[in-house]
Amino acid sequence: MSKSADLNKEPEEVASMFDGVAKRYDFMNDLLSLGQTKAWRRKATAIIAPKAGMKILDIAAGTGSSSRPLADAGAAVIPADFSQGMLDAGKKRHPDLPFTLADALNLPFTSDEFDVTTISFGLRNTNDVHKALQEALRVTKPGGRLVVVEFSHPTNKLFRTIYMKYLMNLLPKLARKLSSNPDAYIYLAQSIQAWPTQEQLAEKIKSAGWETVAWQNFTFGIVAVHIAFKAA
């Protein structure tokens, strides 16, 4: 790839890009995160604390990797994504889950419907973060929670420098060798680098109308989980 990935893609372009990597997406994520993806998902599931009787919307659910443990714990979970390719791959792996085609900026659900609305590694792929957070607020019940799992910024300066060099140099090289659509992973790497810090994202969540915003860092801040509440 001779030029930088375009970070101002339209939703249709991003959806098409993910359609192209859907079949190997989970494998590539595990490889490119140095095997940490499953551990991060386990921690995020523990924070959500799913149980029977709980209704959860999992936005940007992709192939259902984040939805599966929520359903296994007894929660009624709807995996939603705007990539039909991702949904098709997810239906093959988890035919019992109600995969739903949905745009995070215009969710096809009623207001005050979900106990928890969560989005893992997908918020930064929306072209209007504020609107996505407002839509998540709309469909969440009063007193309900938002749980955002997203790549973030390592808190240690030395580690941050090493990580960013890996992300921007080694990751694209690996993607070119191992993926049929390396541009998708180069786009992901550059979108991570351009993403707000933990503090900045917390402010964005507050400005969208959520309350009591807090976050927890995973793996020195490579990933952060932001938790917020809708006013009761």
Residue 151 makes CB contacts below 8 A (sequence gap 6+) with 121, 124, 192, 195, 222, 223
* Mean pLDDT computed over 202-213: 98
Residue spans of the domains in the chain: they are: 34-155+196-229
pLDDT above 60: residue 190: yes
Min mean pLDDT across 49-58, 184-193, 204-213 is at 184-193
pLDDT above 80: residue 89: yes
Under CATH, which architecture does the 34-155+196-229 domain have? Answer: 3-Layer(aba) Sandwich (3.40)
Amino acid letter for position 185: Y
